[in-house]
Amino acid sequence: MTAPPEVTGSAADADPEAALQGMPKKAIQGRSLGQIAWLRLKRDKVAIAGAIVIALLILVAIAALLLDRVFDVVHPNEFHQDLIDTQNGTLAPLGTFGGMSGAHPLGIEPVNGRDILARIFAGSWISLLIATLATVLSVIIGTTMGIIAGFFGGWVDTLISRLMDVFLAFPLLVFAMALVGVLPDTAFGLSPEMVRIGLLIFIIGFFNWPYIGRIVRGQTLSLREREFVDAARSLGARGPYILFRELLPNLVAPILVYATLLIPTNILFESALSFLGVGINAPTATWGGMLSDASRFYTMPHFMLWPGLAIFVTVLAFNLFGDGLRDALDPRAR
């Protein structure tokens, strides 16, 4: 391009034809809306920062899963009673800042002296796994129900919409506590821990689908009135073709955005359940469980700092990335 960059930039925004005239011949390959969204996302520094943090968190979680469960080098449940102040009866860690030292960079817990960094590290994969898989479950159920309700309308729409109302009005926390008390510890030959993880994924995912469902239903309602649906129909397209080839590609963007924004909500919900003691069982390290443990030592609130910070950073990163994604995919919503 020979024109000054700022001139070509504004011309490209205003009129794709004008910009194309200056381009070399090979640039005829079109940019899909996805590619354009990616270009837009790349310019959003905050969203990219969020994405980098998320990528790091995922790497940390995978590393934690491998190091803790496969190679067993993390020892999140190892007691360090020798570092606890048993003389004065406070049961607080010896040393300054909650027992920070070279061996325990974030200090140790009161009473039993477990290493906080090891527990945060070991707890990371559980939080992310539960939040992600629960979100996947919500997206699958929500998209299916929403698209059916929006596309078919009539009594099907009424039925599904009322069902969504029931789910949204459901006292989820109470239900979760009751369910966890009733169900057996082991099932299908899985360990109690795995059963509990599966149960949490099911509870969180199964009761959150109406949020995705409503958005998908609304989008489908407006999309099915667009003329390209009539055009497909006038060419003889069947229902499934219209649903999967015409409507679904237009729904990917909102689904992706709300899935990204649902993950932090699910992380918080899993933490809340663990905090209330109906999440993952006691010895296993989780961020919510660590907060719960720390809350018993209200005279030493700094033990809440580290798990709280972990949850805060993770939720913030997902929210910033989700917001950026929404702006990139739908610039009109700003």
Partner 1 sequence: MSTKTETGAANRRLGEDLLVATDLQKHFPIRRGLLQRQVGAVQAVDGLTFTVKRGETLSLVGESGCGKTTTGRLLTRLIEPTGGTITLDGRDITHLSSGAMRPLRRDIQMIFQDPYGSLNPRHTVGAIIGAPFRLQKVKTEHGVKRAVQDLLELVGLSPEHYNRYPHEFSGGQRQRIGIARTLALRPKVIVADEPVSALDVSIQAQVVNLMEDLQNEFDLTYVMIAHDLSVVRHVSDRVAVMYLGKIMEIADRTSLYERPMHPYTVALLSAVPIPDTSRRDNRERIRLTGDVPSPINPPSGCRFHTRCWKAQDLCKTTEPPLVELSAGHQAACHFPENTTKLTIDPTGAAGSAA
Nearer to partner 1, 39 or 179 (CB): 39
Q: Closest distance between partner 1 and the C-beta of residue 230, in Å?
A: 6
Nearer to partner 1, 28 or 169 (CB): 28
Three-state secondary structure string covering 226-279 = CHHHHHHHHCCCCHHHHHHHHHHHHHHHHHHHHHHHHHHHHHHHHHHHHHCCCC
Cα angle 19-23-26, degrees, rounded to a multiple of 5: 130
Q: Closest distance between partner 1 and the C-beta of residue 15, in Å?
A: 8
Nearer to partner 1, 34 or 105 (CB): 34
Backbone angles phi, psi at 79, to 5 degrees: -85, 145
Q: Closest distance between partner 1 and the C-beta of residue 34, in Å?
A: 9
- CA gap 62, 154 in Å, rounded: 46
Q: Of 229, 266, 20, which Cα lies nearest the Cα of 126?
A: 266
- Number of CB atoms found within 10 A of residue 242's CB: 19
Q: Closest distance between partner 1 and the C-beta of residue 168, in Å?
A: 23
- CA gap 110, 296 in Å, rounded: 10
- CA gap 117, 127 in Å, rounded: 15
Instruction: Assess contact for 128 and 196: CB atoms under 8 A.
Output: no
Q: Closest distance between partner 1 and the C-beta of residue 226, in Å?
A: 5
> What does each C-alpha distance from 126 to 16, 200, 292, 323, 328 come to in angstroms?
47, 11, 16, 24, 30
Q: Closest distance between partner 1 and the C-beta of residue 202, in Å?
A: 33
Can you give the C-alpha Rg of the chain in angstroms?
25
Nearer to partner 1, 10 or 86 (CB): 10
Instruction: Assess contact for 193 and 280: CB atoms under 8 A.
Output: yes
Interface residues with partner 1 (CB under 8 A) are 16-17, 20, 28-33, 226-228, 230-238, 241, 246, 249-250
Q: Closest distance between partner 1 and the C-beta of residue 274, in Å?
A: 40
Q: Which residues pair with 93 in a beta bridge?
A: 84
Nearer to partner 1, 16 or 105 (CB): 16
Assign 115 to helix, strand or coil: strand
Q: Closest distance between partner 1 and the C-beta of residue 14, in Å?
A: 12
Q: Which residues of 33-54 are buried (b: 16+ CB within 10 A; e: fewer)?
A: eeeebeebbeebeebeebbebb
Q: Closest distance between partner 1 and the C-beta of residue 32, in Å?
A: 6
Nearer to partner 1, 17 or 72 (CB): 17
Nearer to partner 1, 20 or 62 (CB): 20
